[in-house]
Amino acid sequence: MENIHTYPQTATQDIAQRQHRVLRNTYALLALSMAPTVAGALIGVQLKFAFFAGSPFLAFMLFLGVAWGFMWGIERTKNSGMGVALLLGFTFFMGLMLSRILQVALGFSNGGTLIAMAAGGTGAIFFSLAGVASTTKRDFSNIGKFLFAGVILLLVAIVANIFFQIPALALAISAIAVVLFSAYILYDINRIVHGGEDNYITATLAVYLDIYNVFVSLLQLLMAFTGDRD
């Protein structure tokens, strides 16, 4: 009888330990991924990197193509060291892409403050929601379909505004993106905790993209409302 009761308990403990290990490795790789992101951003700012600046639509489509290519490669190699290498290469590329908005922000007299505020706000959102997601017993997997639909609509709005260039729509896109990707942080961390994601490389990729999009969107909002060109 003792063995019968002990086996389920041991299996449950093994599952909990495995989920904790995935979460721990995700956080470690996430922290490591910030180094190539910062390096890419600094190099991009120094070189005044611009990705097809003359054609925003072409630049956006090419960016999506490169990004999805990286993500496809990461998914294919997620169980090997090559997956880590591709992830770090992807974060360097994303740092280069980030340099464009950083150049715009640094054009404001309070640009450094705006960037620091966006980084601080992103950090606060991440640690708050990650704390909730990793401690609550609630399973947020049911919101995944709604979040994915939200991303599709957001992409459509972004493409539309490339042509229409409506400032109010741009602000709405940024505000919605902050809320949407903040919810994704909650969803993605909660998925790891509840065993919905058992690979730390793909888990890191998902959380990294959440943080990246929250930061960019916050910075766009801060530039629009508190940017000082004098």
Instruction: Report pLDDT for 197.
Output: 87
For residue 55, pLDDT over 90 is answered with no
Q: How confident is the model at residue 215 (pLDDT cuts 50, 70, 90)?
A: very high
Q: Report the share of the chain in percent with pLDDT over 90.
A: 74
Q: How confident is the model at residue 4 (pLDDT cuts 50, 70, 90)?
A: low
Which structure tokens are listed for 138?
């609630």
As a whole number of angstroms, the longest Cα–Cα distance in the chain is: 78
pTM strictly above 0.75: yes
Q: How confident is the model at residue 12 (pLDDT cuts 50, 70, 90)?
A: low
Instruction: Report pLDDT for 102.
Output: 95
Q: Which residues form the domain of 57?
A: 2-226
**How many domains, in total, are found in the chain?**
1
Query: For residues 159 and 61, what is the distance between their CA atoms, to the nearest angstrom?
Result: 9
| Candidate from 139-148, 179-188, 199-208 with smallest mean pLDDT | 139-148
For residue 112, pLDDT over 60 is answered with yes
Which structure tokens are listed for 50?
């611009």
CA distances in angstroms from 77 to 66, 74, 83, 84, listed in the order given: 17, 5, 5, 8
Mean pLDDT of the chain: 91
Query: For residues 123 and 129, what is the distance between their CA atoms, to the nearest angstrom?
Result: 10
Residue with the bigger pLDDT between 168 and 230: it is: 168
Structure-token match 């508190």, residue found: 226
Q: How confident is the model at residue 194 (pLDDT cuts 50, 70, 90)?
A: confident
Which structure tokens are listed for 163?
């042509």
Q: How many residues does the chain have?
A: 230
Structure-token match 């908005």, residue found: 101
CA dihedral sign, ordered 122, 125, 128, 130: negative
For residue 10, pLDDT over 70 is answered with no
Write the pLDDT tens digit of every residue in 81-108: 999 999 999 999 999 999 999 999 999 9
For residue 172, pLDDT over 80 is answered with yes
